[in-house]
Structure 1
Amino acid sequence: MSALDTVLAGRLDLLGADSAAEYVGLVSDMSERVARRFETTQAPATDTPIAELHRRVDEMDLDAEPIGGTRAVEEIDRLFLEEAVWFHHPDYLAHLNCPVDVNAVAAETALAAVNTSVDTFDQSRIGTLIERRLIEWTAQKIGFPQGDGVFTSGGTQSNLQALFLAREAALQGFRGTQRSERQSRLIILTSEESHFSVDKSALLLGLADDAVVTVGSDAEGRMDSTSLEQHLRDALSAGKIPMAISATAGTTDRGMIDPLPQIAKIAERYDIWFHADAAYGGALLVSPTRRDLLTGLDRARSVTVDFHKGFFQPVSSSALILQNPEDFRLGTWHAEYLNPEESDEPNQVDKSLQTTRRFDALKLFATLRGTGAGAVGQAVDRVIDLAHEVHEVIDDHPALQLVSGSDLSTVVFRWQPEGVSDLDADALVAPIRRHFQESGRVLVAKTVIGGRPCLKLTLLNPGTELDRIAQRLEDISDLAARVHERTARHAHDLEETS
């Protein structure tokens, strides 16, 4: 038996001309099963205990005899789809997960099957050009007429790459011990509300333990530009070297946008790399009414945008956009077998932290062509309007307290009617979230604001109705009241018997 016959006998079904019909059948079967789940799902998750989920997965024998594609699809339906978390459901209110544009999902089918890698031109050809066109479009929306960029796996990678380039800019021209000594003095200034990836990036970049300088925020959670400048002056007086200021256009907890024009002015005055993390707020680039909230973004040197948030894209779909394309050269590496220095082809590995990289830009292309930027912008406005309407509902509620406003679509609140102490209200946050998490009926998140635990809704579904969220708030309030009463009664009983 030849080597080819051996492979064929093993029934390795590689996608190609001979398996095209099988591909159509399996993908059609899977898509029909997913569609039925979308049509019949009654809650964002199930109430199956985690121990049972562990049992089902652990009993899968991955070395057993294969069951074939059709049965594998059935098994995925039963094992995964039945227990999936459904972000399209109106009672999913927890994290920055969005329902996805159907055109983008169709594009996902194509990019997965073709399996394009957009690291070099010879592996992608027109795929490279499509990605570059979408980068150009995004850069122009930001206000970078000559900008450049690259798609990434998410905001964490985009922020890491931006800060890596900022570090290389700060160390440019230094070698050996001089470079090491200088690197030990580099700092990043950011707000206490910035994404954790800033701190993680500093660790990965080999900066000192105290390299991330936390700047104060105002009462609403935006970076305080006065505090920024004071920390900057103190750092310079102490012999530190500011390598970057990282502002946030859409903080994770409160959805606040830092004062970008003031921060840009300070960065320009001190000649410091200004990075804007607009992973959450970047969708305002296509908002018909709120684009002005990103005023000053065009003065940043680098910008993070997550399309898998406000642009309703399937994960992963993020990008790092630079005002000056030459800045990518700070991190360029060449390999003779891949992207030799003398190559005149548009090899995108020249400006990416990744080598093999998915053609995620095709999904955004499908959305812009199939749905349109205008529809995306209107959906962004809708979820922000919805959040502000929910704020009003909470303000008027006798037992709920709004903890923070938002420039975007988050709602941070607590159950704390008059007469309930801070400590008692604190103690209810985790049990409330856990109850709904275990029931699967409503998914909410928790966070800490000003040292106090809070419940948080992140609204990214433009189809969600205010009345439905108002009812879920009542459910939360009723549960909190019952738990509080039960806890108080238990404490009283203990006191009586002591």
Structure 2
Amino acid sequence: MRKKPKTLAEHLFLNNSYESRAEYHRAMSHAQQIIYEQFANRPQPFSGIQVQELTSQLDQFEVCPEEGSDLADIITRAGQTILKHSIAVHHPTCSAHLHCPPLIPALAAEAMISASNQSMDSWDQSPAATLLEEKLIRWLCHLYGYTEEADGVFTSGGTQSNFMGLLLARDHYIKERLGWHVQKRGLPPESSKLRILCAKTAHFTVKQSAALLGLGERAVVCVDTDEHMRMCLNDLDQRLNELHAQGLLPFALVATAGSTDFGAIDPISECASRAKHFGMWLHVDAAYGGAVILSDQHKHLLSGIETADSITVDFHKLFYQPISCGAFLTKKAIHFNLMKWNADYLNPEEDERQGIPNLVAKSVQTTRRFDALKLWISMQTIGRAQFAELINHTIELAQKTAQLISEDPQLELINKEPSLNAIVFRYAAQTAANEPAALNKQNQLNQSIRQALLQSGQVVLAQTKVGGMHCLKLTMLNPRMTMEDVKFILHQVKQTGELLELQKGEKEGHAQKHS
């Protein structure tokens, strides 16, 4: 057999040649070394670099030079200018967003996913990947209490999953109640009357989805929350009665299982009964809290989720997967027909008749990553019991943190009884309550505390607003976090607050002296 001649690009792509293997090994080994040096070994979660300085560093490098450079040099440069100044989500004092440290098995899976570069839209692009994703979807449907009628698809995360839930809810309602096919005819004349209900604490993507679906933000009716930051059922009943009295058409109810700020879980079973009574689609946004289904101790928090018409679940939160990785599940697979398209070059109808699975018909994406592999490898490696331990630890830690904050006169706890692992609090400034503009000063101080801590690089906290108050937030997803880390964070908050108050007092005193 004649030997195939080497091409100019032989070393640039993964293949079976010696040049390719050597280059791939060199690249991956050096990247691994730089990750250790510039990221994994960092003593604090952020370098504290400012926007202008980092911009200046990046501006030193041309995006696409005429001639390339040595890969090892480029990887080293990326480590020194990018990884070094990235947020270290694995660090115990990084607790700002719903942004988890990724599991090592999932990181190994990412290398396999990127190397194979399969697209999940058709069987002839991803045969084994297609079957593995379908297997994981069946497992997820069973995990959340669905029957064999259910189905789902992997997504990029909660935004896409929530959009799909409301897309199917809209088109199902319009088809069943109004006898109108949206995919063929567009929105019907009655579309201006369509309404979606959710709690005021629901994710912003409910309104975003309504806008993208051509209904507008005004189609979303926000329901008050109770003292536990959950959807208030009394207000929900009142809103539903008002909508019907006005001749409007409530077609979807979104229950949140883990609100972004508070981790609050709406009463799912009670929402389900109202959805059934009023003929609405129930969508449960469990992007944050969906993982507690793995915990025998806490899965009761999701009681009633099996009644939902669709579910959002994210794996790049409490399932500890690298971004991005999520899933959308629906109680009845037939609902996917509302969004299905057939393309002769991709998923022809002949394939369906032959039983060939092409997943593009269930997704709003065409090209899509094989993200199911990293969840599968993680599950195989970690197992349900250890996953449950990780989740239980973070929830217990949050409960202890809430108790610690509630007992500290310098701090004010906002969510008194955290459901999951999010804690909202604020530094209580030493300002008289009846002093004019006291709230404004409190707000400015808490904003300044967060910014000062970020600039120091020692603590990365989130911020939010509650009833006009600027608050700080601990999002405690990291299983490596301990009470010692919590105490360090709270000490830094108080110490920074005291210093800022002192500096402000001295500045005001100096101004009065010279006025």
* TM-score of Structure 1 vs Structure 2, range by shorter chain: over 0.9
Per-residue deviation, 1:296:
0.8
Is structure 2 residue 394 aligned with structure 1 residue 383? yes
* Residues 141 and 487 of structure 1: CA distance in aligned 2, closer, same or farther (over 3 Å): same
List runs of 5+ in structure 1 lacking aligned partners. none
Distance (Å, rounded) in 2 between the aligned partners of 1:252 and 1:266: 24
Which amino acid in the other structure matches residue 171 of structure 2?
E
Is structure 2 residue 211 aligned with structure 1 residue 231? no
Is structure 2 residue 409 aligned with structure 1 residue 398? yes
Cα deviation digits, residues 271-309 of structure 1 (max 9, x gap): 100000000000111012000000011110000000110
Is structure 2 residue 372 aligned with structure 1 residue 361? yes
Distance (Å, rounded) in 2 between the aligned partners of 1:84 and 1:295: 38
Aligned to 2:169: 166
Distance (Å, rounded) in 1 between the aligned partners of 2:370 and 2:198: 32
Per-residue deviation, 1:480:
0.5
* Residues 37 and 55 of structure 1: CA distance in aligned 2, closer, same or farther (over 3 Å): closer
Is structure 2 residue 94 aligned with structure 1 residue 92? yes
Per-residue deviation, 1:182:
1.9
Aligned to 2:22: 21
Distance (Å, rounded) in 2 between the aligned partners of 1:391 and 1:122: 52
How is 1:310-389 mapped onto 2 (pairs within 5 angstroms)? 310-344=318-352, 345-389=356-400
Which amino acid in the other structure matches residue 457 of structure 1?
L
Which amino acid in the other structure matches residue 68 of structure 1?
D
Aligned to 2:127: 125
Runs of 4+ in 1 over 3 A off after TM superposition: 7-12, 36-39, 175-179, 417-423, 495-498
- Residue pair 1:43, 1:442 contacting (<8 A) in 2 also: yes
List runs of 5+ in structure 2 lacking aligned partners. 434-438
Per-residue deviation, 1:244:
0.6
- Residue pair 1:191, 1:223 contacting (<8 A) in 2 also: yes
**Which of 70, 79, 90 is equivalent to 1:68?**
70
Distance (Å, rounded) in 1 between the aligned partners of 2:122 and 2:69: 37
**Which of 242, 245, 269 is equivalent to 2:250?**
242
Distance (Å, rounded) in 2 between the aligned partners of 1:178 and 1:287: 43
- Residue pair 1:185, 1:208 contacting (<8 A) in 2 also: no
Is structure 2 residue 427 aligned with structure 1 residue 415? yes
- Residue pair 1:317, 1:360 contacting (<8 A) in 2 also: yes
- Residue pair 2:207, 2:217 contacting (<8 A) in 1 also: no
- Residue pair 1:93, 1:445 contacting (<8 A) in 2 also: yes
With 16-25 and 147-156 compared, the bigger mean Cα shift is at 16-25
Distance (Å, rounded) in 2 between the aligned partners of 1:313 and 1:122: 27
Which amino acid in the other structure matches residue 282 of structure 1?
G
**Which of 155, 158, 178 is equivalent to 1:155?**
158
Cα deviation digits, residues 215-268 of structure 1 (max 9, x gap): 111122100112112111211221211121011000000110001111011001
* Residues 9 and 38 of structure 1: CA distance in aligned 2, closer, same or farther (over 3 Å): closer
Q: Secondary structure at the match of 2:351?
A: coil
Distance (Å, rounded) in 1 between the aligned partners of 2:90 and 2:278: 45
Distance (Å, rounded) in 2 between the aligned partners of 1:60 and 1:165: 46
Which amino acid in the other structure matches residue 302 of structure 2?
L
Per-residue deviation, 1:209:
4.1
Q: C-alpha root-mean-square deviation of aligned residues, in Å?
A: 1.8
Q: Secondary structure at the match of 1:305?
A: strand
Distance (Å, rounded) in 2 between the aligned partners of 1:337 and 1:178: 25
* Residues 39 and 157 of structure 1: CA distance in aligned 2, closer, same or farther (over 3 Å): closer
Distance (Å, rounded) in 1 between the aligned partners of 2:137 and 2:432: 52
- Residue pair 1:308, 1:316 contacting (<8 A) in 2 also: yes
Aligned to 2:512: 495
Per-residue deviation, 1:178:
9.1
How is 1:175-324 mapped onto 2 (pairs within 5 angstroms)? 179-324=187-332
Distance (Å, rounded) in 1 between the aligned partners of 2:197 and 2:158: 18
Distance (Å, rounded) in 2 between the aligned partners of 1:98 and 1:322: 26
Which amino acid in the other structure matches residue 424 of structure 2?
V
Per-residue deviation, 1:420:
4.3
* Residues 208 and 50 of structure 1: CA distance in aligned 2, closer, same or farther (over 3 Å): closer
Q: Secondary structure at the match of 1:122?
A: coil
Distance (Å, rounded) in 1 between the aligned partners of 2:187 and 2:409: 60
- Residue pair 2:39, 2:83 contacting (<8 A) in 1 also: no
Cα deviation digits, residues 163-222 of structure 1 (max 9, x gap): 111111122131598943122211110110000011110110000341011111112210
Cα deviation digits, residues 415-460 of structure 1 (max 9, x gap): 1156544333222111111111112111001100122110001001
Per-residue deviation, 1:9:
4.2
Which amino acid in the other structure matches residue 60 of structure 1?
F
- Residue pair 2:208, 2:217 contacting (<8 A) in 1 also: no
Per-residue deviation, 1:11:
7.4
Aligned to 1:145: 147
Distance (Å, rounded) in 2 between the aligned partners of 1:50 and 1:440: 14
The two structures have a TM-score, normalised by structure 1, of 0.95
Aligned to 2:436: none
Q: Secondary structure at the match of 1:254?
A: coil
- Residue pair 1:171, 1:182 contacting (<8 A) in 2 also: no
Distance (Å, rounded) in 2 between the aligned partners of 1:419 and 1:58: 45
* Residues 39 and 211 of structure 1: CA distance in aligned 2, closer, same or farther (over 3 Å): closer
Which amino acid in the other structure matches residue 160 of structure 1?
F
Q: Secondary structure at the match of 1:319?
A: strand
How is 1:38-49 mapped onto 2 (pairs within 5 angstroms)? 39-49=40-50
The aligned length equals 494
Aligned to 2:85: 83
Per-residue deviation, 1:466:
0.3
Cα deviation digits, residues 281-338 of structure 1 (max 9, x gap): 0011101200000001111000000011000000111000111111111111111111
- Residue pair 1:256, 1:406 contacting (<8 A) in 2 also: yes
Per-residue deviation, 1:94:
0.6
Per-residue deviation, 1:137:
1.1
- Residue pair 1:93, 1:459 contacting (<8 A) in 2 also: yes
Q: Secondary structure at the match of 1:121?
A: coil
* Residues 116 and 178 of structure 1: CA distance in aligned 2, closer, same or farther (over 3 Å): closer
Distance (Å, rounded) in 1 between the aligned partners of 2:419 and 2:98: 15
- Residue pair 1:433, 1:445 contacting (<8 A) in 2 also: yes
* Residues 39 and 333 of structure 1: CA distance in aligned 2, closer, same or farther (over 3 Å): closer
Counting aligned pairs with the same residue, the percent is 36
- Residue pair 1:286, 1:376 contacting (<8 A) in 2 also: yes
Which amino acid in the other structure matches residue 52 of structure 1?
E
- Residue pair 1:288, 1:378 contacting (<8 A) in 2 also: no
